[in-house]
Chains A and B, each alone.
Chain A
Amino acid sequence: MTRAVVPLVLFLALAGLFWFVLGKMNEGEYNPRDVPTQFIGRSAPEFSLPDLLDPTQTVRPSDMAGKVWLLNVWGTWCPECWKEHEYLVYLARREGVPIVGINWRDDAADAKAMIERLGNPFLKIAFDPSSNAAIDWGVYGAPETFLIDAGGVVREKHTGAITPQVWKEKFSRYFAAARSAS
């Protein structure tokens, strides 16, 4: 009797586990490919790159000192970036969120065309065709979005498109706090 029950119980336990994990994956709460970032609680790595729209200007994270801001890594080759762009424009224009972009491994003309077509949510766009800043920030896919606080410390990171839900869960509280403090 027990000989038959043991494998059955093991099977049901495994099936239950897979069901649970698949459910979490479908809800987007668990991503097995996600690589947890090393940067939470660390100060933001510095870089110095030309601005996509005005190459005479340089973009540096330290320019944003004293502000709570987002760093968004994107490229025209990345479908999720097209998907989230409209919401980024909304955040920048309606919510007044300061966003700095890193245009990663991209063609400058393509990137400019996309910004012209969909609007520009970015204060500045660092142009990084050779992945220098991207590697330094531990970026492995696009879009990736980091939140940096007024002290220049990385507080939050999201891999994948920013949606209203992601915004509410991960990011909005930092800006609510910044607003009430000022």
Chain B
Amino acid sequence: MTSVKSMFFVAALLLAVSASARVEVHNFEGPEQEARYNKLIAELRCLVCQNQNLADSNAELAVDLRRKTYEMVKQDKSEGEIVDYMVDRYGEFVLYRPRLTNSTLLLWAGPFIILVIGISLLIRTVRRRRAGQDNNIDDASIRNAAALLDTDRDKRNA
């Protein structure tokens, strides 16, 4: 029991350490700058970890790029200017939300194209199935079924 407790304690300590690793103290001039900074670090990619944004990553490059973003926000650079600066150096890949260009057209339109294909496939399947059901039940089998039901009713009545 005590060993479980101490393990918990150690785990909690480790968590505390990793949580404090990303606390950076920033002094923004107003909430607008802070919002701009937070939006930017959420939308810029850490190029070392690649599946994390700057806000989530503890990689040293992410720390550096966060600091660069902070400096530029403090110089009152607009969101567009900062994004342009990063794209200029690291390419479109640095953006989590890629811009709509010829090369990203398929990326943006893809989900909608797949949705349309999916819906049309669904409609076709449903239609075909319904048509198939109609063909299977001919007049003869309906009469057969009716006859069976009738015999049942006769038995019950008798």
**Chain A residues within CB distance 8 Å of chain B:** 33, 35-38, 105, 130-131, 134-138, 140-141
Contact (Cβ within 8 A) B48 A131? no
Q: Are B60 and A140 neighbours in the complex by a CB distance under 8 Å?
A: no
Q: Please provide the chain B residues from 31 to 89 with a CB less than 8 Å away from any CB of chain A in the complex.
A: 47-48, 50, 60-61, 64-65, 67-68, 87-89
Contact of A140 among B47, B67, B68, B88 (CB under 8 A): B47
B90 A138 Cβ-Cβ under 8 A: yes
- 14 A-B residue pairs with CB within 8 Å: A33-B50, A35-B93, A38-B90, A105-B64, A130-B64, A130-B67, A131-B64, A131-B68, A135-B65, A135-B68, A138-B89, A138-B91, A140-B48, A141-B47
Which residues in A have their C-beta under 8 angstroms from that of B64?
105, 130-131, 134-135
| Residue count of chain B within 8 Å CB distance of chain A | 15
Evaluate contact between B93 and A135: CB separation under 8 angstroms: no
Q: Chain B at the A interface: mostly helix, strand, loop or mixed?
A: helix
Q: Which residue of B lies closest to A77 (CB)?
A: B60
Residues of chain A lying within 8 A (CB to CB) of residue B90: 35, 38, 138, 140
Q: Least Cβ distance of A157 to chain B in Å? A: 12
Is B91 within 8 A of A36, CB to CB?
yes
Residues of B within 8 A of A35 (CB): 47, 90-91, 93
Chain A residues in 8 Å Cβ range of B61: 131, 140-141
Chain B residues with CB under 8 A of A37: 91
Q: How far is the CA of A67 from the CA of B23 in the complex (A)?
A: 45
Docked Cα-Cα span, A33 to B65, in Å, equals: 18
